[in-house]
Amino acid sequence: WAELGVWVGLGSSLVPPACGKPQQLNRVVGGEDSTDSEWPWIVSIQKNGTHHCAGSLLTSRWVITAAHCFKDNLNKPSLFSVLLGAWQLGNPGSRSQKVGVAWVQPHPVYSWKEGARADIALVRLERSIQFSERVLPICLPDASIHLPPNTHCWISGWGSIQDGVPLPHPQTLQKLKVPIIDSEVCSHLYWRGAGQGPITEDMLCAGYLEGERDACLGDSGGPLMCQVDGAWLLAGIISWGEGCAERNRPGVYISLSAHRSWVEKIVQGVQLRGRAQGGGALRAPSQGSGAAARS
């Protein structure tokens, strides 16, 4: 616990931990399984006790995910719970935390159609969670962040490993490195004829044009994460795609840069990070809640 500083278990009035910085010491990268505590902001949103979607922790009371995860159930928050700090869903361990959902705030322009723009929702937890090395917030990108094509980012989730093939027990969190795809290229790939371009200005595409590697069913709502100056930023939210890992059908994500101001209006204390300017000073969390010192 020493490396986590004084805030662990001492209530939320103290400075929260720095966003986007895993605290683990053992980083084994290279396989498809992630390592324990590698992505401590990823949560499993469960419906009736079963994994339904993924999400990302922004603060001790807020999770961000895809709005379509709550289609037809927006007024039934009691159906849902959020599991934090789990690496294997089949074996979440004593240090994981399960919290109920107080309410869900979908983006006001989301139209509840598949592939619609603004497929993003904020989930208010019933109580504040305790941060630990397994449970930490991710950063939002500030206005300095632009992700050019071929930027390498990561996605992670507990979704199906192929169309119709669920992740086998013990359901270990999977991860995949994906390059950002130029939005014009993506628009052409998904073009449906005159006036039918489904890639809207708030969408990002990422993945492989040859297929074979992609997000899939059950990964919805999870993060597209890019590391900038040593901190992990939430660049996008897994939203839709045609099939899974099909040729010329990359994954489509809702861009957080496009919706940052909406998130900031609702979530007090969300931390923004960007490119270090000059002396490396970074933006404090919004709403004046005080930034955690950079380690």
| Sequence letter at residue 264 | E
Pairing state between β 203-206 and 272-273: unpaired
Q: Report the distance separating Cα 57 and Cα 144, nearest Å.
A: 22
HSE value, Cβ hemisphere, 13 Å, CA-based, for 198: 19
Separation CA 228–CA 273 (nearest Å): 8
In the annotation, is 68 catalytic? yes
| Strand segments (E) across 95-163 | 97-106, 121-125, 140-141, 152-157
Contact 36, 170 (CB under 8 A): no
Q: Which among 68, 96, 239, 259 is annotated as catalytic?
A: 68
Query: Cis bond leading into 170, ω under 30°?
Result: yes
Residue 214 a catalytic site member: no
Cβ pair 1, 8 in contact under 8 A: yes
- Active-site residue 72, yes or no? no
273 three-class SS: strand
Which residues make Cβ contacts (< 8 Å) with residue 70, sequence separation at least 6? 80, 104, 106, 121
Q: How far apart are the first and last CA of the chain?
A: 15
**Of these residues, 37, 44, 81, 220, which one is catalytic?**
220
Among 36, 119, 202, 214, the active-site one is 119
d(CA 189, CA 196): 12
**Known catalytic residues?**
68, 119, 220
